[in-house]
Chain A
Amino acid sequence: MMPLTHALPVTHEETPGRRAWRKFKANKAALVGLCIILISALLALAAPILPIADPIATDWSAIRQPPSAAHWLGTDEIGRDLLSRLIWGAQASLMAGIFSVTIAVVIGVPIGLVSGYFGGWIDMLISRVTEAFLAMPFLITAIALAAFLGPSLSNAMIAIGLSAMPIFVRLTRGQVLSVKTEDYVEGARSIGLGNLAILRRYIVPNVFPPILVQATLTVATAIIAEASLSFLGLGQQPPNPSWGSMLNVAMNFMSQAPWMAVWPGAAIFLVVIGFNLVGDGLSDALDPRES
């Protein structure tokens, strides 16, 4: 039997992916965001080979030094180089952002697919549980989970990922519900395609764009959440650097060494803006209503 897609009229329009990329490229703000993300990712990855100081090496002769030629961003309360800690801290922040969203997507999307596609009592059960989790403020859930799991960067990532998961369950379910009644899905079913094949070929590609947008925006939220948990002492543990824990320490030296507080916060701000800009750009580029 001829695949259904071949039955559709063949047009010479560009593919949706290309069209989205063309629209994304035309969005200057989104490109700025992408550059911010790429530069910080590159710095984080290159941290071990960059000619910077050891991020945990203390230097008692250089405690709380303001920015200078020797230490571009200054030093902290035990003489560690802030530039180096900032670059190494980017690893923790970006990793936390990306891993926790991966956890949320990998668990949340399949649950949402099952819930939306199969419906019935399983959908009802999943929907009620999702609603319950959405009723708990994201950060409170993450704090509670991190507290009970024990403080560490990996537990913070798990806590953030699990707290963000219901967003993806609900989003995926909603998308599936609107796609599954489309004519082409009905058509695929009528020619005898199995559930798995329909999900893979027709449903997943259609629910993918909004999930991509949401995932990008959630990375921004997750980075702030990781910084918040580390700031509270529930994330990255000392002496390893993370932007949140650097801010926590900096708070104790605000009048003596204000620079300690400026850089990590500015870094979080910048990277989060980057992800938000890219998320907004993707949202516009992937919106079929906007030409």
Chain B
Amino acid sequence: MYAYIAKRLLVAIPTLLIISIFVFLLQKLLPGDPVLAMAGEERDPEVIAYLREQYRLNDPVVYQYFYWLGDVLRGDLGTSLRTNQPVTELILQKLPVTIQLAVMAMIFAVLIGIPAGILAAVHKNTALDYLANLVALSGLSIPNFWLGIMLILLVSVHLGWLPASGYYPFFVDPLRSLKTMVMPAFVLSTPLAAMLMRHTRSSMLGVLRADYIRTARAKGLSERTVVIEHGLRNGLLPIITLSALLFGDLLAGAVLTEQIFTIPGFGKLIVDAVFNRDYAVVQGVVLCTAAAFILMNLLADILYVLLNPRMRASL
């Protein structure tokens, strides 16, 4: 088992290195010379030369990459041009906000998607199944920033039930925090709930056709026991790993959701950075998201092995 985890960790290293090259090269895509922009209007040749030396821009690009990578490995992602704060600090500040949003969205997605998928599978080809499929298709097709706007319009502007924006840290005021996060988390969860529903349905349909389910039914067990005790345990296995994989998607989805509900998280950080041309922050966020994504992939693989006795035995 440990050997397997170690092997998966080793495979993740080249992936991370390639991503780091891409993220580093992004800044080379920028038109114009960054030093000229930093040197101000006078463009004093001495200042320019000094800046070039300071940022080691006279060295070959490969060297520059390794300097940058060395800094990144030491946890130094550079400094924000706008706030002068270290990028790592900024990210660490915003990350808990987005994690809270993502965790709540994940809970919604699981609570909606999995039961809906099971119901659709058990009642295959009935009105209930069609309805669940239609809702799932809508969930996958609806642009979630539009869903967010429509919900604000209905729930906040017309009904006045929930606040339209804002953020309160969970540990400071839990109730208020949950109240402000319910709507954004629901919006963020919709495509995920839809995907989970579709996968649960097809996974359960596969399981419910299996021989041991027929045996369980033949033994005279109630349909409820058959579906929940025998079917669900096996049908949910791929779903759990899928959920871990989708958690990474939530970080990306959060970009728009945070923008609409003005939540000061990770997503808002990258969007603001893009508009302020704060490229170190953009690079930092992309790198961290990719790392989180890879971590979740790793976790999904490990979970799969842990939960699947057959896989465990083969290791």
- Please, which residues of chain A bring their CB within 8 A of the CB of B302? none
Check A231 for interface membership: any CB of B closer than 8 A. yes
Instruction: Given the known inter-chain contacts A138-B252, A139-B255, A276-B141, please indicate yes or no for A147 contacting B274, CB distance below 8 A.
Output: yes
The answer to whether B15 and A135 have CB atoms under 8 Å apart is: yes
In the complex, what residue of chain B is closest to A221 when comparing beta carbons?
Answer: B140
The answer to whether A254 and B157 have CB atoms under 8 Å apart is: yes
A89 to B293, CA, bound (A): 34
The interface residues of chain A, by DSSP majority, are classed as helix
Check B76 for interface membership: any CB of A closer than 8 A. no
**Within residues 2 to 50 of chain A, which ones have a CB less than 8 A from any CB in chain B?**
none
Q: Considering only CB atoms and an 8 Å cut-off, how many residues of chain B contact the other chain?
A: 49
Among the listed B138, B145, B253, which residue makes an inter-chain contact with A247, where contact means beta carbons less than 8 Å apart? B145
A221 to B290, CA, bound (A): 20
The answer to whether B22 and A273 have CB atoms under 8 Å apart is: no
The answer to whether A261 and B29 have CB atoms under 8 Å apart is: no
In the complex, what residue of chain A is closest to B289 when comparing beta carbons?
Answer: A140
The answer to whether A139 and B252 have CB atoms under 8 Å apart is: yes
The answer to whether A224 and B143 have CB atoms under 8 Å apart is: yes
The answer to whether A135 and B255 have CB atoms under 8 Å apart is: no
Check B39 for interface membership: any CB of A closer than 8 A. no
**Within residues 131 to 145 of chain A, which ones have a CB less than 8 A from any CB in chain B?**
131-133, 135-141, 143-145
The answer to whether A140 and B141 have CB atoms under 8 Å apart is: no
B245-270 contact mask (Cβ, 8 Å, vs A): 1 or 0: 00011011101100110000000001
The answer to whether B15 and A258 have CB atoms under 8 Å apart is: no
Check B196 for interface membership: any CB of A closer than 8 A. no
The answer to whether B150 and A261 have CB atoms under 8 Å apart is: yes
The answer to whether B152 and A269 have CB atoms under 8 Å apart is: no
Candidate in B138, B146, B147, B255 with the most chain A CB atoms within 10 angstroms: B146
- Please, which residues of chain A bring their CB within 8 A of the CB of B249? 137
A257-291 contact mask (Cβ, 8 Å, vs B): 1 or 0: 01001101110110011001100100000000000
The answer to whether B145 and A137 have CB atoms under 8 Å apart is: no
The answer to whether B22 and A132 have CB atoms under 8 Å apart is: yes
Among the listed A135, A143, A233, which residue makes an inter-chain contact with B297, where contact means beta carbons less than 8 Å apart? A135
Instruction: Given the known inter-chain contacts A129-B18, A254-B157, please indicate yes or no for A144 contacting B149, CB distance below 8 A.
Output: no
A226 to B26, CA, bound (A): 20
- Please, which residues of chain A bring their CB within 8 A of the CB of B141? 220, 269, 272-273, 276
Minimum CB–CB distance from B243 to chain A (whole Å) comes to 16
Instruction: Given the known inter-chain contacts A136-B19, A220-B141, please indicate yes or no for A254 contacting B26, CB distance below 8 A.
Output: no
In the complex, what residue of chain B is closest to A272 when comparing beta carbons?
Answer: B141
The answer to whether B282 and A147 have CB atoms under 8 Å apart is: yes
Contacts A137-B290, A140-B289, A247-B145 known; 20 new A-B pairs at CB < 8 A: A132-B16, A132-B22, A132-B290, A135-B15, A135-B294, A136-B290, A139-B253, A139-B256, A140-B255, A140-B286, A140-B290, A148-B27, A148-B29, A227-B143, A231-B256, A250-B149, A251-B260, A269-B141, A273-B138, A280-B137
In the assembled complex, 16 residue pairs joining A and B whose CB atoms fall closer than 8 Å, in A order, are: A131-B18, A139-B256, A140-B252, A143-B270, A147-B282, A228-B256, A232-B255, A250-B149, A251-B260, A258-B157, A264-B146, A265-B146, A268-B143, A269-B146, A276-B140, A280-B137
